[in-house]
Amino acid sequence: MELTDIIASLAALAAIVLFLRVWRPQGGEEARTDLRKAAQKEQGDGSAGQPPKPGHGDGPVAPSGAPAGPDSSAVTGTLPMAGTAQRIEGPRILMAFLPYLIIIGVFSLAKLWTPLKEFLAASDAKFGWPGLDGEVLTAAGQASATTVYTFPWLSSPGTLLLLSGVVIAAVYRVTPAAAAREFTATLHKLRWALLTVAAVLALAYVMNLSGQTITIGTWIAGAGTAFAFLSPVLGWLGTAVTGSDTSANALFATLQQTAGNKAGLDPTLLVAANTSGGVVGKMISPQNLTIAATAVGLIGRESQLFRAAIKWSLMLLLALCVLVYLQSNVLAWMLP
């Protein structure tokens, strides 16, 4: 699944590059100015205009006394000054894409190379959850297997991303202290998003194990085939609120499956609709808007990003609802 996300992201990136060959958005100079100010603030450790501190910037630090040539920003990691037209050379492009290439390489090895995949999976720790294991029964009266918790401490995508981050920091010659500071700052910045995702996942477990999800799904199935049109909306709402497509799937996937079985719809289609709706809702999630605003130097202007993105999110959601409805009957031949 992680490789699918990466390939889809790269395809989208290629589409954007081709699109920008024929269309130029307004406000380009303003965006460059904001990015330059944000970079100066980060490299000056909070004081715009100060020179970057060794090991604190995003890229390698130039040696002492290095000449400031026309491409010195490729060494120092700083942005070109306003009004200067610089051609982006191959090394700078490679360094910009290198983190993504490293992530692709790490995930490809971990997911496609069978010996490594089996080694990582063998490290998973499983244990029955105290107080729940053997005590929660399914509708058939048997002990539920979901009370056995699997802790994928080595094979988890999060661990693989952390490993990728270590490799990237080493390639960019970021000191361990600076990398640890950035990691801690990121955790602090996303603390409420992390808490929200954890709370939603906990709620999903409670609803699934208590039978609430199946009950709600059975009730929603009363909408019949019309539910196929509304199915993506659940994923859209779940991700817009929590900021996580995973949380939306954990919360609503079983509901979608139950409703599909009861209404005579393909449950696979509805679960896929839930995931697709979640992706469309991700662009208006407060957590993701905060991350995007921070990344491009627009801190405090999340509301502007929201107003610009909401219309596209709703249009894409409507198109997705129509597509899923058609695939549930007229275009059923498209389903595998």
* Alpha-helical regions (H) of the chain: 2-20, 28-43, 73-76, 90-112, 114-122, 157-171, 176-189, 191-210, 212-220, 227-242, 245-263, 267-282, 286-295, 302-327
Is residue 61 scored above 70 in pLDDT?
no
User: In the structure, what pLDDT confidence band is assigned to residue 248 with cuts at 50, 70 and 90?
Assistant: confident
Distance separating alpha carbons of residues 227 and 206, to the nearest angstrom: 24
In a domain, 144, yes or no: no
Q: Is the pLDDT of residue 171 over 90?
A: yes
In a domain, 79, yes or no: no
Mean pLDDT of 54-59: 43
pLDDT at 1: 59
Q: Which residue has the higher pLDDT, 183 or 56?
A: 183
pLDDT tens per residue, range 103-121: 989 988 998 899 999 999 9
Structural domain of 269: 191-336
Task: Pick left, alpha or beta for residue 254 (phi over 0 → left; psi -120 to 50 → alpha; otherwise beta).
Answer: alpha
Note the pLDDT of residue 3. Answer: 66
Residues 181 and 214 in one domain: no
Q: Is residue 36 part of a domain?
A: no
Three-class SS of residue 224?
helix
Q: CB atoms < 10 A from the CB of 83, how many?
A: 6
- Which of the residue ranges 28-37, 53-62, 276-285 has the most confident prediction, judged by mean pLDDT? 276-285
Task: Please give the DSSP secondary-structure letter assigned to residue 27.
Answer: -
Q: What are the pLDDT digits (tens) for 252-262?
A: 998 999 999 98
| C-alpha closest to that of 275 among 241, 242, 244 | 244
First-last CA distance in the chain: 18
Residue 202, pLDDT > 90, answer no
The answer to whether residue 63 scores a pLDDT higher than 50 is: no
Same domain, 180 and 217: no
For residues 171 and 236, membership in a common domain is answered with: no
Q: Which pLDDT score is estimated for 86?
A: 60
**Are 166 and 199 in a shared domain?**
no
- Domain endpoint, select from 137, 162, 189: 189
Q: What is the DSSP string of 133-158?
A: TTT-B-TTSSBPGGGEEEE-TTTSHH
CA angle 47, 182, 173 (to 5 degrees): 95
Highest mean pLDDT (candidates 23-37, 135-149, 250-264, 278-292): 250-264
Instruction: Assess whether pLDDT exceeds 90 at residue 60.
Output: no
Domain count, the chain: 2
pLDDT for the residue 44: 60
- Do 162 and 195 share a domain, yes or no? no
For the chain, give the mean pLDDT. 81
* Domain co-membership, 185 together with 333: no
318 pLDDT above the threshold of 70: yes
Please tell me the predicted confidence (pLDDT) of residue 268: 93
Highest-confidence segment of 71-75, 118-122, 144-148: 118-122
Residues 138 and 19: their CA atoms lie apart, in Å, by: 51
- Boundary of a domain, candidates 165, 189, 213: 189
Domain-located, residue 100: yes
**Any domain includes 118:** yes
* Other C-beta atoms lying within 10 Å of the C-beta of residue 187: 10
Does a structural domain hold residue 270? yes
237, 93: one domain: no
60, two tokens:
């390698």
* Interatomic CA distance for residues 251 and 274, integer angstroms: 10
Residues 3 and 56 in one domain: yes
Closest CA to 203 of 240, 274, 236, 252: 252
Which of these three, 189, 218, 236, is where a domain ends? Answer: 189
Shared domain for 336 and 277, answered yes or no, is yes
**Separation between Cα atoms, residue 320 and residue 314, nearest integer Å:** 10
pLDDT at residue 320 is higher than 90: yes
Do 319 and 230 sit in the same domain of this protein?
Answer: yes
Evaluate whether 120 touches 155 at the Cβ level (below 8 Å). yes
Q: Which residue has the higher pLDDT, 9 or 122?
A: 122
User: 100 pLDDT exceeds 90?
Assistant: no
pLDDT of residue 45 exceeding 70? no
Q: pLDDT category, 52, cuts 50, 70, 90?
A: very low
Q: What percentage of the chain reaches a pLDDT higher than 70?
A: 84
Residue 212 lies in a domain: yes
Q: Are 58 and 74 in contact (CB under 8 A)?
A: no
One domain, residues 200 and 272? yes
Supply the pLDDT for residue 2. Answer: 62
- Does 299 lie in the same domain as 163? no
The reply to whether 288 falls in a domain is: yes
- Helix (H, G, I), strand (E, B), or coil: what is residue 88? coil
Contacts 24+ apart (CB under 8 A), 21-25: none
What tokens does 116 get? Answer: 């490594």
* Angstrom distance (rounded) from CA 289 to CA 134: 42
